[in-house]
Chain A
């Protein structure tokens, strides 16, 4: 079995983490990485033929095009993107709106219901969700990897109040995780010790101060260890190459 990690820009930290993890190295499991800019995964084509699934979209300006073939039913496909909540919590709307739970602390903001948030987020992730369901239907072994919690530097960068940002982030993660688990798709969560008070702790943040949502190599190690552990548990027979 090969672990095939594919998805958005978080794949880069996972690749770096895999290269730095002793546990991953000792497992002997082959791991493949395919990462593309997250915008590719908002809307893409899902093409089926001969039991294989191809996802693609026309190139975005200045971005490497998405064109990925899923054709190995014996492998574990690990998808990074659908739990990526940055598009939800960094939306400029949150400068003037807030989830209803934050209304009391933010009386100057318009509050929105959970149903409204759900409507929006479900629409945003629908294409990726459809892909995962299709993979399950075709018998592929698939899991979703969670990105790091928001970085502490983000609220100031976007001008969004921290409590509002965290409420949206947590709503997105809870909603999509529940959708996935209801559909039988495993979620590989971020370890509890990598975050505190809703934010990624500094030790796991990207060292690039301009980076607003990625983890560093240490985070990548943590996550890839979990990915491999999941692979060992979910696939009792692993052929080590």
Chain B
């Protein structure tokens, strides 16, 4: 044994000195899923911001957690106090910062913004079902419909006024990207959150067409949205996340699993690139928390689609993390980055989700 031999020096390469989280073996494979950390550096000074949320069904959980955490969460269309909590939710209150319902695609978000600021006006805006009328751009917010088209339009105008105020006032908008697939009006390219005929309206292939948005379109939608938002609110930041909830149904010819992977991949790519390309845009990896290998899909309910409350809690554990410099300041004791775990109720994990209705048509 040659104990005095000098060890030959390792050749220098760019992976040396990288933090532990850069290495799969140590950061992912070695530990338990509950020890997973370092996925997100947090948003500095989040507790000082006025936060708004919007997006697809999964975004509802984020908004709820932000409120429970005691952050300055904006709700510009609160429920009237005489409604019970259950009835408030049934009528679409308290789900997002405004009563826009689920915003599944970036095109829908951009069109909402344009409409709020008077830059577009959808022509096919009211859908009927029996003798009730629905806001085609947010058909899920009034489950029993409105009494008249006039009422739909009047309430939409007051809603858009609140959306305008919201975009002007917020500090950070947390947006959850959900889908690439959508149904579009042949008349004026209005994108709807759900296909006509599912909740209300009539599907007429002459009036509507299916479109599966692609990377360049989604990127451009977000780019325009960011520029538009900053034109009215220069300080506004954006936090993007991708919903880990698979498609309830696909209108492509692909298997829904294949279609889901396509959608989520495209959305994830765009979100990541936008976060790199634009100042004040952050990416939060809720998608990775739920679908990544460490979780072994334990965060899904038996339907392998909806996320259970434990999964939501795990997502928020990562969300409310301290920035790297703040982590170093902590002494022993309960970590401030621990998410406030909500007390489980019978409604935990429940989402108001029009997309889930698509499954009603499954054989």
Q: Which residues of A contact B (CB under 8 A)?
A: 91-93, 97, 100-101, 103-104, 107, 110-116, 119-120, 123
What are 7 A-B contacts defined by CB distance under 8 Å?
Answer: A101-B154, A114-B147, A114-B151, A115-B147, A119-B91, A120-B87, A123-B87
The answer to whether A113 and B151 touch across the interface, beta carbons within 8 angstroms, is: yes
The answer to whether B146 and A114 touch across the interface, beta carbons within 8 angstroms, is: yes
List chain B residues, Cβ under 8 A from A97.
Answer: 80
The answer to whether B155 and A100 touch across the interface, beta carbons within 8 angstroms, is: yes
Give the number of A-B contacts (CB < 8 Å).
54
The answer to whether A103 and B154 touch across the interface, beta carbons within 8 angstroms, is: yes
How would residues 144 to 180 of chain B score, 1 for a CB under 8 Å from any chain A CB and 0 otherwise?
Answer: 1111000100110110010000000000000000000
List chain B residues, Cβ under 8 A from A111.
Answer: 154-155, 158
Pick from B146, B157, B158: contact of A115, CB under 8 Å: B146
Scan residues 318-343 of chain B and give those whose CB is less than 8 A from a CB of chain A: none
- Check: B78 CB closer than 8 A to any chain A CB: yes
Pick from A91, A100, A116, A120: contact of B154, CB under 8 Å: A100
List chain B residues, Cβ under 8 A from A120.
Answer: 80, 82-83, 87
Q: Which residues of B contact A (CB under 8 A)?
A: 77-78, 80-84, 87, 91, 142, 144-147, 151, 154-155, 157-158, 161
The answer to whether B146 and A112 touch across the interface, beta carbons within 8 angstroms, is: no
The answer to whether A93 and B80 touch across the interface, beta carbons within 8 angstroms, is: yes
Residue of A nearest to B148 (CB): A114
Residue of A nearest to B153 (CB): A100
The answer to whether A113 and B142 touch across the interface, beta carbons within 8 angstroms, is: yes
List chain B residues, Cβ under 8 A from A104.
Answer: 154
List chain A residues, Cβ under 8 A from B158.
Answer: 100, 103, 107, 110-111
Asked if A100 meets B151 with Cβ closer than 8 Å, knowing A111-B158, A116-B91, the reply is yes
Asked if A119 meets B80 with Cβ closer than 8 Å, knowing A103-B158, A113-B146, A114-B146, the reply is no
Residue of B nearest to A116 (CB): B91
Residue of A nearest to B162 (CB): A110
List chain A residues, Cβ under 8 A from B83.
Answer: 116, 119-120
List chain A residues, Cβ under 8 A from B142.
Answer: 113, 115
